[in-house]
Amino acid sequence: MNIRRCGDQALLVDVGDTGGIDAVLGLYSALSDPRPDGVTELVPAARTLLVRFDPAVIGAGELAELLAGTEPVPAQAMRGELVEIPVYYDGADLAEVGKHTGLGADGVVEMHTAAEYTVAFGGFAPGFGYLTGLHPKLHLPRRATPRTHVPAGAVAIAGEFTGIYPRSSPGGWQLVGRTEVPLWDPARRPPALLRPGTRIRFREVR
């Protein structure tokens, strides 16, 4: 674990490749409920946790010591809420993904619905979650040319992640299906259905 300065009001904890996403989530869980005094924001990402703080409450050195001494919650103890997402597997890239992986469209659906996923982090748009747990056979690059319009609810894969577009936006992920489950509602508390640590299963509907 490597702690770096990120301006005068944040530290960036880099867990490195050995720790990976589990270590980030473990640290995020250990710090988020409740947040230590003076910590204003926690931003988990693939290998890092950004910790923003109020220097009037806690100093950078003191916070660095606290972070270095924080025991990450072990992955198996971090079983967040399980959400089932019904999906129509009729995405524009499904046939292509089936061809590319050699699994065929049905094989892709079978593999995508077989796994349990965990929201590792957000960031692309309000309510978007990067889900880990995708079978390595489905690890595919993004599309060479991103689409200018991906509809809300599109279920997609890219690299080691799968995810759902919470609203229509441009996007370069491979579209395999769509869901009607509302992922983002500013009037709901919390507004995002998928939050770091939430577990997900996809179920095929026709």
Give the dihedral sign, CA 59/61/63/66.
Answer: negative
Dist CA 105 CA 103 (whole Å): 7
Cis geometry, peptide bond prior to residue 34 (ω within 30 degrees of 0): yes
Candidates 72-80, 89-97, 145-153, 190-198: pick the segment binding other proteins (CB under 8 A). Answer: 190-198
Closest separation between CB of residue 192 and other proteins, Å?
Answer: 4
- By CB under 8 A, residue 48 contacts other proteins: yes
Q: Which is nearer to other proteins, 32 or 101 (CB)?
A: 32
Q: Which is nearer to other proteins, 67 or 155 (CB)?
A: 67
Candidates 5-13, 72-80, 88-96, 134-142: pick the segment binding other proteins (CB under 8 A). Answer: 5-13
With CB under 8 A, what is the number of residues at the site for other proteins?
48
Cα angle at 179 between 177 and 181, to 5 degrees? 165
Residue 188 makes CB contacts below 8 A (sequence gap 6+) with none
- By CB under 8 A, residue 78 contacts other proteins: no
User: Helices 94-101 and 104-114: crossing angle, nearest 10°?
Assistant: 90
CB atoms closer than 10 angstroms to residue 154: 23
- By CB under 8 A, residue 124 contacts other proteins: yes
Q: Name the site residues for other proteins (rule: CB under 8 A).
A: 1-12, 14, 28, 32, 40-50, 52, 60-61, 64-65, 67-68, 121-128, 167, 186, 190-192, 195-196
